[in-house]
Structure 1
Amino acid sequence: MNRADTAPAVTVVAADPVIDPRWRALATGPDAGLFTSPPWIAAVCGTYGFTAQSRIAVDAAGAPVGGVAWVTVDDARGRRLLSLPFSDRADPPVPDTATWDLLFDDLSAGETAPYTLRCLDHSPAASGARLDEVGAAAWHGTPLDTDLDELHRRIAGQSRRNIKASARAGVRVEVRDDLEAVRIMHGLHVRLRKNKYGLLAQPQEFFERIWQEFAPDGHCHTLLAIVDDEVIAAALFLEWNGVLYYKFGASLQEHLQVRPNDAIYWTGIQQGVERGLRLVDWGLSDLDQPGLVGFKRKWATDERRLLTLRSGTVERTPAQQEFGDALGGLTKLLTDEAVPDDVTARAGALLYRYFC
């Protein structure tokens, strides 16, 4: 590729995305989101012992014009490059496809391991160099471009009725910024993933590191739905770059009839408006979970495809395949209903790093 295709002429430099001020400048630009932010990368890498890397395109004056961040994972499942692990997406903050191609050329030089990126379908990376689409999901967002009355009118009629039903049932939502609320949310998260999906949850340490990174700036909010002094649902929202992100949510299945999740979603929108934010990002929904996709559609006016892109081929050795099979078997065993929740939580702390 002719580097003159990018204007102005740029060069590529290596940088630590957690501490480099040039990356922070990109992470607060118009093309950046939560999952490429320094505090999010720090929480992921601090929990799992990863080392984040980035390449930054800088202009002749040394100012950053685009970048890409990733983590190299080399474990029993093989060597792989991920942008970024345990993140809904990591749209590279780049202005155009030419800049993306330049960065990707540098990232992949001499590298044979597969590289995986998840980004929205309008990202320059989606039409850039040598990446094949290997998966898709749904993304939903609610622009906060008007007052609360109009936002209330925009959501689906069923959701408006559920908000009223929740209030009649005595559901109240507390907005909390303390660490104990995060721990309460994690307990519900462990139980839901175990009982509904047969999956392990990320460790409590990860949730605590998220709080440590975002709470000092007032950007970590836990919403607890409570009936008769019992927490029956919870959600963790993070704020970055003018957007409120719904990151984790969980509820007790036996209390869904009082619509606690509707109460939480509406409170999240109210919080976004009160804080002067421009969007509520409802995150990723797998297409094989039509119930979740349908629920978010009732709240969102924006919907896009979220693509998984990959360069290279994932080829498992027999030993790696055997490890993957054993990991699946252990997950099934440790999420059995007979296993205490605290044991399932500890299993997640031990094994979750291998799921990226």
Structure 2
Amino acid sequence: MNAVSVVAADPVTDPRWGGLAAGPAGSLFTSPPWISAVCRSYGFTPQARIALDAAGEPIGGFAWVAVEDVRGRRLSSLPFSDRADPLVTDPPVWTALLDAAKTGDDQLTLRCLDDSAALADPRLRAIGAAAWHGTPLDAGIDALHRRISGTSRRNIAAAGRAGVHVEVRDDLDAVRAFHRLHVGLRKHKYRLLAQPLEFFENIWREFHEGGRCVTLLATVGGEVIAGAMFLEWNDVIYYKFGASVPEHLRARPNDAVYWTGIQRGVERGMRLVDWGLSDLDQPGLVGFKRKWASDERRIVTLRSGAWLQAPEQEEFGRELGELTRLLTDASVPDEITARAGALLYRYFC
């Protein structure tokens, strides 16, 4: 390998990082606006290392944040993101980047697709995997309609007969309406807290210019019964968040939302719909995405260092779990549950 130098950089403001993030190795989750939204919402300070060749040109990059709270100090690349693939394809360059980034015994956790140079690094071990799905937009709407599963086509038609209408919105009020739906679904179906509204608002502020952030709201008779947020980066449209009202699922609003997302991608000249991460212990979600996606891969979670928790840290984790169960009880108003998420969600990374 020719001489490589590694320099520190701010991945939000450094144009060299922006160029790498807009290249073939980049994704929404390593883009400057996404990193900015996450860090502004949760009070993190992003860090990055950029590898330069002998001519001073960037040839690779790696970003992370240091998390310090009652659970201890740890490095995350990057928190509250589906993945954050290192922006590098050459294993020796990756080695130089990690050497420059990681000092001491800090634990590092990162998620990346299954072809990342990081997977071959003996300093990292795989501790988990999830599914990733994508739909190439390499054909017209009619051809794409024929490619999706027969079940999806029937459900799209059923949604139309049920009077489901999907609004494509780019305003902040739509984001807030979706967040209320999101809070309700996570609370009543999964007994989980939701990310703060501030996070969603920051995402909108970073991406809404140029139509790169839209909220799709499925309604019946004026009532919002399902929705999703789609973001654009580097000619890819990302399905990032989705939620629906369980009592209205027979109207197939989610199918109508997904199909509208595909149509949006085609209209905008995108090359791919990225359906994001699905936990393998949620076979229903994995199966639903398979109806729409022709590509499936794995997102691998890698970790370095030992994860040793002091007894008080383990006790905090147990208490956080119990507090979550209490605050997501059906007797608790959704507004209180939403405020609890704003206070506590930062501890789930």
- Return the TM-score normalized by structure 1: 0.97
Q: Partner residue of 1:306? A: 299
Q: Indicate the larger mover: 88-97 or 294-303.
A: 88-97
Residue from 72, 75, 88 that aligns with 1:78: 72
Percent identity over paired residues: 70
- The residue type equivalent to 1:200 in the other structure is L
Give RMSD over aligned pairs.
Answer: 0.8
Asked whether the equivalents of residues 89 and 116 of structure 2 are also in contact (C-alpha less than 8 Å), the reply is no
Contact 1:221–1:236 (8 Å) recurs in 2:
yes
Q: Secondary structure at the match of 2:330?
A: coil
| Residue 271 in structure 1 maps to residue 291 in structure 2 | no
How many pairs are equivalent?
349
1:46 partner amino acid? R
Residue of structure 2 in register with 1:335 after alignment: 328
Gapped runs of 5+ residues in structure 2? none
3-state SS, counterpart of residue 81 of structure 1: strand
* Residue matched to 1:125: 118
For 1:111 and 1:67, the matched residues in 2 are separated by 20
| Partner residue in 2 for 1:237 | 230
**Aligned counterpart in structure 1 of residue 314 of structure 2, from 307, 316, 321:** 321
Q: Is the 8 A contact 1:142 1:300 kept in 2?
A: yes
Shift of 1:95: 2.3
CA deviation profile, 1:83-111 (whole Å, cap 9, x unmatched): 00000000111022111111011111x32
The aligned counterpart of 2:129 is 136
Residue in 1 that maps onto 2:7: 13
Aligned to 1:216: 209
Q: Secondary structure at the match of 2:59?
A: strand
Q: TM-score by structure 2 length?
A: 0.99
**3-state SS of 1:348 partner:** helix
Q: Which residue number corresponds to residue 220 of structure 2?
A: 227
Distance 1:313 1:197 in 2: 30
Q: For 1:225 and 1:115, locate their aligned partners in 2 and report how far apart those are by CA, in whole Å.
A: 40
Equivalent residue letter for 1:90: A
Cross-structure match for 1:204: 197
- Asked if 2 retains the 8 angstrom alpha-carbon contact of 1:101 and 1:129, the reply is no
Contact 1:104-1:129 within 8 A present in 2 as well: no
1:31 equivalent in structure 2: 25
**Unpaired runs of at least 5, structure 1:** none
Q: What is the rounded CA distance, in whole Å, between the counterparts of 2:211 and 2:104 in structure 1?
A: 40
Residue 274 of structure 2 aligns to a residue in which SS?
A: strand
**Most deviating of 220-229 and 55-64:** 55-64
**2:145 alignment partner in structure 1:** 152
After superposing on structure 2, the runs of 4+ consecutive aligned residues of structure 1 that deviate more than 3 Å are none
1:128, distance to aligned residue in structure 2 (A) = 2.4
Confirm or deny that 1:66 pairs with 2:72: no
Distance 2:97 2:126 in 1: 19
Q: How does 1:110-121 map to 2 (within 5 A)?
A: 110-121=103-114
What is the match of residue 87 of structure 2? 93
Q: Which SS does the other structure have where 1:141 is aligned?
A: strand
Tell me if the contact between 1:55 and 1:67 (Cα under 8 Å) persists in the aligned partners.
yes
Please state how far the C-alpha of 1:60 moved relative to its aligned partner.
2.0
| Aligned-partner Cα distance in 2 for 1:338–1:124 | 48
